[in-house]
């Protein structure tokens, strides 16, 4: 069986990246081919290298507001790695239509809210402010609209009365680590039925 090749894009600690990488063994239909970051000091890069996965960095800062120029560089290692699927895993740059369309139908993102609620940033604080009883995370296919696109899976957590944005983020992250690998496994096998956890 030839495995699907997965490039994972990160900006930070990469805990979701690690859970994806750890899942891609045995009869899993995919394997990691690249971990790519826009931040040279991203902790996830060291973890990926330790796991024997090729890594690359494309710093966004020299490109200023020119997203297209940044993306023209960002795409190169992904194409060089022969990626079939791109997983955004805590990748904190907004991507343009042009970049997204190159990976239409084969790029996934994980977002820390129950979409369509709370696109963008500070999702945990916003769920708390709204008095939500439940919160969670979503994996979706990436389209040109931020945090939009067909939902491929969701996991829920109960919000406790004493939760803070930090405790809630930690609870949601535990679920992210279950949800993203479950969705990727299905997706790589060509099954887009949503995964519902919790
Ligand atoms: C995760 O909670 C992920 O859902 C979130 O960033 C965190 C990355 O953690 N992503 C976004 O907010 C995307 N807009 P990690 O680096 O440990 O995987």
Of 63, 174, 12, 40, nearest to 71 by C-alpha is 63
Are 17 and 114 in the same domain?
no
Are 88 and 124 in the same domain?
no
By alpha-carbon position, which residue is closest to atom 8 of ligand 1? 90
Q: How far apart are CA 135 and CA 156, in angstroms?
A: 6
- Judge whether residue 24 has pLDDT over 90: yes
Picking from 39, 71, 103, the residue at the C-terminal end of a domain is 103
3 as an active site residue: the answer is: no
Picking from 71, 86, 103, the residue at the C-terminal end of a domain is 103
5 alpha carbon, distance to own chain's centre: 15
Are 55 and 135 in the same domain?
no
Q: Pull the structure tokens for residue 5.
A: 């090749």
Are 99 and 121 in the same domain?
no
- Judge whether residue 187 has pLDDT over 80: yes
Picking from 76, 103, 130, the residue at the C-terminal end of a domain is 103
Give the model's confidence band at 1: pLDDT under 50 very low, under 70 low, under 90 confident, else very high. Answer: low
Instruction: Read off the CATH number of the domain in which 183 is found.
Output: 3.40.50.170
Are 97 and 4 in the same domain?
yes
Are 92 and 30 in the same domain?
yes
26 CA → ligand 1 middle, Å: 26
What pLDDT is attached to residue 42? 98
- Report the domain count for the chain: 2
Q: Is the CB of 177 under 6 A from ligand 1?
A: no
92 CA → ligand 1 middle, Å: 8
Mean per-residue pLDDT of the chain: 97
Instruction: For residue range 115-145, list pLDDT tens digits in order.
Output: 999 999 999 999 999 999 999 999 999 998 9
Element (H, E) at 137: strand 134-141
Are 60 and 75 in the same domain?
yes
Are 137 and 195 in the same domain?
yes
Are 78 and 122 in the same domain?
no
What pLDDT is attached to residue 198? 80
φ, ψ dihedrals at 23, nearest 5°:
-80, -25
Are 122 and 188 in the same domain?
yes
Are 24 and 84 in the same domain?
yes
Domain that holds residue 88: 1-103
Are 4 and 99 in the same domain?
yes
Torsion 185-32-36-18 (CA) sign: positive
Instruction: For residue range 159-181, list pLDDT tens digits in order.
Output: 999 999 999 999 999 999 999 99
For residues 11-29, b (16+ Cβ closer than 10 Å) or e, as one string?
A: bbebbbbbbbbebbeeebb
């Amino acid at each position: 069986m030839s495995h699907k090749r997965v490039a994972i894009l990160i900006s930070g600690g990469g805990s979701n990246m690690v859970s994806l990488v750890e899942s891609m063994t045995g009869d899993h239909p995919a394997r990691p081919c690249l971990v790519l970051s826009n931040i040279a000091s991203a902790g996830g890069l060291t973890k990926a290298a330790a796991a024997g996965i090729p890594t690359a960095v494309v710093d966004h800062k020299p490109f200023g507001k020119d997203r297209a120029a940044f993306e023209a560089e960002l795409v190169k290692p992904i194409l060089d790695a022969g990626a079939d699927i791109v997983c955004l895993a805590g990748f904190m740059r907004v991507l343009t239509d042009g970049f997204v369309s190159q990976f239409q139908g084969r790029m996934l993102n994980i977002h820390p809210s129950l979409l369509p609620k709370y696109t963008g940033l500070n999702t945990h604080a916003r769920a708390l402010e709204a008095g939500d009883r439940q919160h969670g995370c979503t994996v979706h296919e990436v389209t040109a609209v931020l945090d939009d696109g067909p939902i491929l899976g969701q996991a829920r957590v109960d919000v406790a009365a004493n939760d803070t944005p930090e405790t809630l983020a930690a609870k949601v992250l535990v679920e992210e680590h279950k949800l993203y690998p479950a969705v990727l496994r299905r997706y790589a096998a060509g099954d887009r039925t949503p995964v519902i956890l919790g």
